[in-house]
Amino acid sequence: MFSFIGYTPQEVAVNRQSTINVSLKGDSQQLNEVVVIGYGTQTKRDATGSISSVKGSTIANMPIQSFESGLAGRTAGVQITVPNGVLNNPPVFRIRGTNSISLSSQPLIVVDGVPTFTGDYSSTNAPANPLASINPNDIESMDVAKDAAATAIYGSRAANGVVFITTKRGKSGAVKVNYDGWVGFSDAYRLPSLLNAQEYINFKTQAVANNPTASAIKYNQINDANGNPVDTKWYDQVYRQGVSHSHNVNISGGSEKTNYYFSVGYSKQEGILKKNDFERINTLFNMDSKLSKLFTVGGKISYSNEKNLSATSSGSLYGEAFNTGGLGRLAIVLPPILSPYNNDGTYNTNGAAMGSSNISGISSLSYYNPVVLLDNNRSNSESNHIQSNIYAQLKPVDWITLRSTYGIDYLLISNDLFWSPKGGDGFSYGGYGTAVSGTYKTWVWTNTAQFDKTFAASHNVSLLAGQEQQRRTSNSFGINRQTLSDDAYNQIQAGWVTNNPSGMSFGENYLLSAFGRLTYNYKEKYFLSGNVRQDEYSALGEKKGVFWGASAGWEITQEGFWKAAHLDNVFSNFKIRGSYGKVGNIGGIGDYTPYSTYASGLYGGASTLYFSNVGNPNLKWETSTKTDVGFNFGLFNDRITGEFALYKNDVNNLILYVAQAPSTGLPTNPPQNVGTMYNKGLEFSVNARVINTKAFQWNSNFNITFNKNEVTSLAPGLNVIQTGIGGGTSETVNQTAPGYSLGQLWVVRTNGVDPATGKRIFVNSQGQNVYYQYYAPTGQYQYSTTPDGATKYANAAGGTAITQATDGVMYANVLPKQYGGWDNTFKFKNFDLSVLLTYQLGFSVYYGSNAGLHDQRWWNNAKDVLTDAWQKEGDTGKKYARPVYGDNVSNGSAIPLDINVFKGDFVRLRTVSLGYTLPAALTSKAKISNLRVYVSGQNLGILTKYPGPDPEVSSNGASSNNSTSSQGVDRNTIGNARTITVGLRAGF
Amino acid sequence: MKKKIIYSAALCVLSWGFSACNRDLLTPIPQTSVSDASAFSTVNRVQTQLLSLYGSSNSTNIGGLKDGNLYGGRYVIYGDIRGEDFINETGNLITGSDVWAENPTNSATAVTTLWNYAYLTINKCNIFLDGMAAGGTKVVGADLGKQYIAEAKLIRGLVYYSLLQFYARPYADGSGSKPGLPLRLTGIKGLASRT
């Protein structure tokens, strides 16, 4: 077997030759590669749509829970943001920008032909991403379809792009057995530096002294059981080094007629947050069998059990940012002079809250003792996921292929939450538990007929006609129980006083479709293709829709004039292509959204019926009209290949829930198809075999995407949409308005700190400076237009304070304008090194935690208050105002301020992997055909000006319906971990 | 060749045959709530709707006369604190300082709760009255129908009267010539103009 990177391998029988001359042909392998295009495959040579392919082997042994985070930086157009360091949290996944406001902007994920569940299916503090059921080791390829031509075959679900996941199948030949195992160590990094006990006492005492009304407050240093002063490092109480390990075995093989692939995997991963674990057992079996010349059958069955475990809220998931028990927040808010335990070893608590007996003058801190929560509470979600399909394929003649596929996707989730009565949220209830069980089932039945014929040796035609039904049902029910009968109980089935129903939901939907695709090419020179799909979906008012996409391509290198100009010596391929089409989005619409319904309630023990949901019988899908123009090229015998594309997505009929006048008395906001938005941009990717010698090879792959997003209209009477963090009202920092990108940061401006008085200077809506003091002595005012505090501030409407509603401005964009990756692979003898850098540029992040880190209540502060807070008259250029006890305004806690908005641009060393393949001569003695050992690091370093732990962050996550318009927020979240793994892969 | 044609025909017939017979799944009937079209179709539904005009627990944004934001609490408290025997020291909107000072703003909690819930209740009364006129009276009979309609009208009148105490101009200002409250007398169940 003769092989060399970039050339087609050749096998030559030795026979009796003593010298063999072999000449290898240049490998247009790229063009012969097959990409999945929805109900079929196509060679890259024939593809006119915009599709990128990533091999499963690139993400196979990464310390991730599901494949999405492995896609970051690998292909143009794809933006992945892992929201925080909590395990199995669905990443924010965007293809060519954010394309929806109220519905999901996550792409449709199709696994072996069956669209699967996406999002967070857990109702506890441990997220459950159903895509974690697919072991990254079992993935053969991931094909990302981006433009209308490639996605229109999925019609009403294609607007956010489609990702095809294909699992491995066996190949004919000898049985292959592979083992992959790795051990990994994860650590939190870039945590802010906090004050220690002595610094805390000094600084906070100074703040108390600056506020005459707070004289009762005293911070006292106490000693622990050994007589040493208490100086608690709360990070050590909340974070840990996570040790993870993973093992996979797969067996595959086959004959000429049958092939099979069987794999079993076990993965136990520990997150950087104590008690946050992910444990998965999964198995996959794929088989194809050609029963006769005409008839092939095959199928797949995959079962996965995942345990998503945590003790309590991390404060990082959607809706958790302001939890008083959020572990991320507790670590930065609790004073270092408090000890988690009393000197007698009992928990230091004060009712539900953290014990604070050595801070006099404050009756309760309200925040909880994290050690009590970590030791006694649990918040778990276990999922059992079965994904299976079977197909039969008939080829009555060689140019007709008839195929029928039936697939199921069953997701069974079991949620278990327990709050101990010893402290925290469970204290006031005397113990609180919730258990909810959910069943989510999908079946899909697809029938297709494909006709492939070549006429007159130059006209290649392929026609696909198909019909598909998809049915989804969901139901969940559960119980919430309160007040334990015995302190030792902690299970939901034990004795409790009060019982309430919990987690009740019921839903069903049905999608009936017919689709077709026609592709034509003339001598592999001129390409035309068209897709059309009609979808009827039960959860819409106007149920039927037709979606289509058309594309054309021109392979210039086949032209006579090109060859005459000898350009084909330089270009091995150069295809110009373009596409246009209209697709839709229905992701996340509730099953009964179009209907107006009445719900049941209780009045004094009797049932009531009330109008509860305003529907819209004309509700239809969101529409995305996509235009794409570009070219693919290969230079110097495909030594350099690349793609370039310009695209525009015009989204209209965005579903918005427009609030009506309150006097109409409507219980919910009616959904309307009314908003418009666009994304336009440019993608460029290039792959080069930079150095290609026998001893040393260097392959480099670079991709960049430029994307501009703008909302162009909302609804009549709806000028802005404000999205609170976690959908709540504690803090609202994202505002969407026409003329701006989605979910811009909306904050109040400031103008530094006054050097003479140390007061925070706010800038009101008229651009005027307003001086603020938390404590206003008699005769002075909190908000004043003069530094001495004596001139009362009043705005045009008569208000006497700076508020976000009056003085907030659209301040910064949160969606990255440029993003991509740079992947370099080096091979030297038996060593290989690969380095992947990912980057996102042109966006800002609201570092809300920073407000808390400079809050002048009893909260702990970041170390920079010692140097950057105003101390005395004449201090210029200080970032933070004079510390006055109780001041939560100057720092940005009460009102979001521009001082907490930072540029999030980053370049991240995402993956570095160094491996060594043992020489074949050595390993074959042990009957091992290949053995590679490696060490790799993930998130090793990051280059950014962002002061928080991680600019790749999202307090609002990926999977709630408010997530699209509330990105770019870092409020009390846990940053991503840095992980080092050591592993080996053995093939037998 | 014949065999091939038979096989393919069989496969086609089976597949396409089974496939098209599930069209009624496109219009699912909500199983955990009552659809708009059938809300007045049984005696029980009419009676439970009438009860909801008095109040419903389990959820927010329902309204009802005895809801915590109306006669169940907020309305009564706000009435109290506007009396001369109360002083508000803290300037805290949560404890109704703007109601005490009699200068609430559009977005203050005091307004968005009381005003909102009052009109939620009024709308439900209107929806009930419309539904009774459209067919509910036939379902329950003329006598019961008259009684239920009277109850709904009483609740609606009482809520309007209560709102007037807070949000209409006093007689001293204009002697009743100035506009008071939006008068809604028909049920609204869908998109409405923003007036």
pLDDT tens readout for residues A44-81: 888 888 999 999 998 988 999 999 999 999 999 999 99
Closest residue on chain A to B19 (Cα): A469
Tell me: pLDDT of A23 over 60.
Answer: no
CA A393 to each of CA A298, A447, A682, A960, B14: distance values in angstroms, whole numbers, following the listed order: 9, 10, 40, 39, 13
Q: Quick check: A375 contacting B, CB < 8 Å? A: no
- Name the residue among A509, A537, A597 with its Cβ closest to that of B34: A597
**Contact in structure between A195 and A336 (CB atoms under 8 Å):** yes
Optimal mutation site among A500, A515, A603, A613, interface B, most CBs of chain B within 10 A:
A603
CA distance B173 to chain A (A): 22
Q: What is the pLDDT of residues A322-368, one digit of tens each?
A: 888 899 999 999 999 999 999 999 999 999 999 999 999 999 999 99
Paired with A675 in beta bridges are A654
**Contact in structure between A141 and A36 (CB atoms under 8 Å):** yes
CA A435 to each of CA A375, A384, A502, A664, A959: distance values in angstroms, whole numbers, following the listed order: 19, 16, 8, 38, 22
Closest residue on chain B to A505 (Cα): B32
**Quick one: pLDDT at residue A748?**
95
Q: Quick check: B32 contacting A, CB < 8 Å? A: yes
Walk me through the domains of chain B, giving residue ranges and CATH numbers: 40-170+178-195 (1.25.40.390)
Quick one: DSSP state of residue B171? T
Angle ∠(A33,A36,A41) on CA atoms, nearest 5: 75
The stretch A665-688 carries a mean pLDDT of 94
Per the model's pLDDT, the better-predicted residue between A22 and A71 turns out to be A71
Q: Quick check: A508 contacting B, CB < 8 Å? A: yes
Per the model's pLDDT, the better-predicted residue between A514 and A724 turns out to be A514
Q: Do A668 and B64 touch (CB under 8 A)?
A: no
CA distance B79 to chain A (A): 21
ipTM of the complex: 0.88
The stretch A545-562 carries a mean pLDDT of 90
Closest CA to A665 of B103, B70, B108: B70
Optimal mutation site among B2, B36, B41, interface A, most CBs of chain A within 10 A:
B36
**Contact in structure between A295 and A404 (CB atoms under 8 Å):** no
**Quick one: pLDDT at residue B58?**
63
**Quick one: pLDDT at residue A19?**
63
The stretch A139-151 carries a mean pLDDT of 93
**Quick one: pLDDT at residue B6?**
61
- Name the residue among A510, A536, A592 with its Cβ closest to that of B30: A592
Q: Burial level of A909, CB count in 10 A (0-12/13-18/19+)?
A: middle
Q: What is the pLDDT of residues A286-295, one digit of tens each?
A: 999 999 989 9
Tell me: pLDDT of A28 over 50.
Answer: no
CA distance B149 to chain A (A): 16
Using CB atoms and an 8 Å cut-off, which of residues 117-176 of chain B contact chain A? Answer: 119-124, 126-127
Q: Quick check: A596 contacting B, CB < 8 Å? A: yes
Chain mean pLDDT for chain A: 92
Scanning the structure block, which residue is given the tokens 């679900």? A157
**Contact in structure between A681 and A705 (CB atoms under 8 Å):** yes
- A445 contacts on B by Cβ (under 8 Å): 18-19
Q: What is the pLDDT of residues A605-616, one digit of tens each?
A: 899 999 999 999
Q: Quick check: B39 contacting A, CB < 8 Å? A: yes
Give residue B21's pLDDT band: very low, low, confident or very high (50, 70, 90). low
Q: What is the pLDDT of residues A765-779, one digit of tens each?
A: 999 999 999 999 999
Q: What is the pLDDT of residues A838-885, one digit of tens each?
A: 999 999 999 999 999 999 999 999 999 999 999 989 889 999 999 999
Count of C-beta atoms within a 10 Å radius of residue A779: 7
Quick one: DSSP state of residue B132? I
**Quick one: pLDDT at residue A26?**
45
Tell me: pLDDT of A595 over 60.
Answer: yes
Beta strand A108-111 with A162-167: parallel, antiparallel or unpaired? parallel
The stretch A553-582 carries a mean pLDDT of 87
Q: What is the pLDDT of residues B141-153, one digit of tens each?
A: 999 999 999 999 9
Tell me: pLDDT of A577 over 50.
Answer: yes
Closest residue on chain A to B106 (Cα): A662
- B130 contacts on A by Cβ (under 8 Å): none
CATH 1.10.540.10 fits A51-170+244-322+374-725, yes or no: no
Tell me: pLDDT of B193 over 50.
Answer: no
Q: Which of A435-439, A666-670, A720-724, A729-733 has the highest mean pLDDT?
A: A435-439
The stretch A362-388 carries a mean pLDDT of 95
- Name the residue among A294, A661, A670 with its Cβ closest to that of B194: A661
Give residue A12's pLDDT band: very low, low, confident or very high (50, 70, 90). low
Q: Give SS3 for A797.
A: coil
Give 3-state DSSP helix, strand, coil % of chain A, rounded to 5.
10, 50, 40
Q: Do B192 and A660 touch (CB under 8 A)?
A: yes
| Phi, psi angles (nearest 5°) of residue A691 | -125, 135
Write out the H or E segment, with its range, that includes residue A151: helix A148-151
**Quick one: pLDDT at residue A568?**
74
- A782 contacts on B by Cβ (under 8 Å): none
Q: Quick check: A541 contacting B, CB < 8 Å? A: no
The stretch A126-151 carries a mean pLDDT of 94
- A294 contacts on B by Cβ (under 8 Å): 4, 7
- B5 contacts on A by Cβ (under 8 Å): 396
Delimit the domains of chain A by residue range.
1-30, 51-170+244-322+374-725
d(CA B118, CA B109): 14
Q: What is the pLDDT of residues A936-973, one digit of tens each?
A: 999 999 999 999 999 998 888 887 777 888 899 999 99
Q: What is the pTM of this model?
A: 0.91
Q: Quick check: B179 contacting A, CB < 8 Å? A: no
Least confident of A232-236, A479-483, A519-523, A922-926: A922-926
Closest CA to A581 of A528, A529, A624, A540: A624
Q: Do B194 and A536 touch (CB under 8 A)?
A: no
- Name the residue among B8, B63, B121 with its Cβ closest to that of A394: B8
Give residue A660's pLDDT band: very low, low, confident or very high (50, 70, 90). confident
d(CA A560, CA A763): 67
Least confident of A424-428, A513-517, A721-725: A721-725
- CB-defined contacts A:B, below 8 A: 188
Q: What is the pLDDT of residues B82-132, one digit of tens each?
A: 888 888 777 676 777 778 877 777 667 777 788 889 999 999 999 999 999
Tell me: pLDDT of A14 over 70.
Answer: no
